[in-house]
Chain A
Amino acid sequence: MRRVRAEILNARRLGAFQSITLVAPEIAERARPGQFVSVAVPDDRRFILRRHFSIHQASRRGGWAGTLEFVFDPHGPGTDWLAEAKAHQFLDVIGPLGKAFAYPRGPSNCLLVSEGHGASSIFFLAQELRARGKRVDMVLGASGESHVFKPIEAKRLSQTIVIVTADGSMGERGSVMDVVPRAAQTAGTEVIYAAGPRRMLRTVAEFCIDQRIPAQVAVEEEMACGTGLCFTCVVPVIRKDGSGYDNLRACTEGPVFNPARVFWDRWMSEETRPVPTPPEGFSPVVSSWPA
């Protein structure tokens, strides 16, 4: 991982998303699909935390050698300023960060499933898998047409593609999981990769576990430092020996996890639980205040 002052080569709109391409050879050379970069916000901002973006493209050779691209929601919290960034401005960038997707060893048929912005890391993965002679099929989900991520490029990268939108404005109407079983069967899928929101990842994980399909999922956790310092972006992961679980950092031990080991019930409960459950089995050493 390196920290660089990187020049913006290109900033452009991509449907509902915004894309930024940086000149950052130190990072691009090392970048692998699933990894992310951390971008500092300008000084004197109301928001102070760095923003974290999965790497959409990294070019090691050719005319664009040494560049990397990331894509984000311009309306996300604290990213409005970045949406206004122009070519030739400089950004303080740390990367590549996190654990990358692993590639299957033998010849394999890979189904890449994503929803919304999650697709950004999947395209990089598709390229790398194809370069290794793997078959790539895709399921691309989104809320509506403008959030379908680069559909033409997706068709170019994959053998078959199913697009599914919640409002039916593009492709089929429904959710990603409505089409994954069929897509997997058609493509003779042997490995599944998924990136997107927690709820979608869980449904994909359940399918993979049920069908005994090896899978890897990339989570989209809010991160504070991105480098493993602060322990705020944790995901509960069951230990290999099954003796309980550990809260692992999405930025350091992730963002790519084996979905068979994610403690989904515990993790999902964070989205619904009305009052916090103290960490089980341990003394309640927590920040608190006088009643």
Chain B
Amino acid sequence: MAGVKQTLSVDLAGIRLASPVVAASGCAGTGRELAGLTDLRRLGGLVTRSLTFEPSRGWPGPRVAETASGIVTGVGLQNPGVRAFVAEDLPRLARAGIPVMASVGGGSLQGYIRAASILRGEPGIVGLEVYLSGADEENRGLPFYSRIDRMAEVVGAVSRLSTVPVFAKLPALLPDLVPAARGCIRAGAHGLTLIDSVPGMAVDVRRLRPRLGAIIGGLSGPAIRPIALAAVFRVAQDLPQVPVMGVGGIATAEDAVEFLLAGAWAVQVGTALIVNPSAPTEIAQGIAGYLKAKGLASPGDLRERMRLTGEQPARGTSAS
């Protein structure tokens, strides 16, 4: 189909990105490291590592264990604190011309509020992402995502403070994923990021020890892609109007197209980025090639294009 004017740009609740491929949280460093290896301006956007109000040293090592088609990491949100980020890293990222989404973390509701207050109105930040996998000091150290009302409380507080669109980042393995997604949107989130890394572990059998200092970390990489895809699909079916960023094991353009077909509005690339610094650029080019071959004008045209033959499972259940 010649004559279709093609674009890679996407609009996520008012965040306009030139490419649907975004660097995922915790995988793009401080914005300095990638500069010599890839053209940062060709990233659709960049999600920062999760920022807490106070600086955090993170977990002791070892922090990474390689497993089949993936890595288990336990970094523990090492970050310089949100004020140091605004003073040091943000100006550099802004100068590089990359749309920056700041990932906000915390150990308490107050922690989120204080971090979000510092980011409020900062030029150069186009959106926030709320990290919900951290331990909640006010709920016996369980993760924020373990209770929908608690997630909604945190997401709501950040959204009320924010002057830019807010995305809630959810893990895949929630029994009530769709209600949780709805809860976050109702609380004020403008979009969702699906999924966070999957709780994982590896053991050194020779030394009879866990391979991570954190013992349990997060599994990422191609091993979790089908899990992420299913989560994106379920939520996108239920909330077709809500912008979803799909993330989990995306390493190639074909992987990304899978997510766009399943209902994602954009994709994030994490583990692939630490293996191949130009992965986001290559994936964006591949998406453009795919759109052209299919005669489609933009990544958004892929949503709802997937042919769903046969009977569909009832919403909210997993079809096995």
Contact = CB atoms under 8 A, between A and B. Distances in A.
SS class, residues of chain B in contact with chain A: loop
Interface size class of A (residues with CB under 8 A): 35 or more
Contact of B56 (A233, A269, A282, A287): A282
Interface in B71-114: 71, 73-78, 105-108, 111
A231 B197 contact: no
A287 B218 CA distance: 7
Contact of A286 (B29, B33, B54, B59): B59
A290 B56 contact: no
Contacts of B63: 231-234
Contacts of A278: 59, 76
A266 B62 CA distance: 12
SS class, residues of chain A in contact with chain B: loop
B109 to A, nearest CB: 12
Interface in A2-39: 2-3
B172 to A, nearest CB: 12
A283 B37 contact: no
Contact of A289 (B33, B66, B143): B143
Contact of A231 (B78, B142, B146, B213): B78
Interface string B47-60: 00110101111111
A229 B33 contact: yes
B13 interface: no
Contacts of B199: 287-289
B27 interface: yes
Contacts of A288: 133-135, 141-143, 199, 216
A287 B134 contact: yes
7 contacts: A49-B71, A227-B37, A232-B61, A283-B107, A283-B111, A286-B134, A287-B143
Interface of A: 1-3, 40, 46-50, 77-78, 92, 94, 221-222, 224-225, 227-234, 236, 245-247, 252, 266, 269-270, 273-280, 282-291
Given A224-B73, A227-B274, 20 more contacts: A48-B66, A227-B34, A228-B32, A230-B73, A231-B26, A231-B78, A234-B78, A270-B61, A279-B60, A283-B56, A283-B111, A284-B141, A285-B50, A285-B52, A285-B56, A286-B77, A287-B133, A287-B218, A289-B199, A290-B142
Interface of B: 26-30, 32-34, 36-37, 49-50, 52, 54-64, 66, 68-71, 73-78, 105-108, 111, 133-135, 137, 140-143, 146, 197, 199, 209, 213-218, 221-222, 271, 273-278
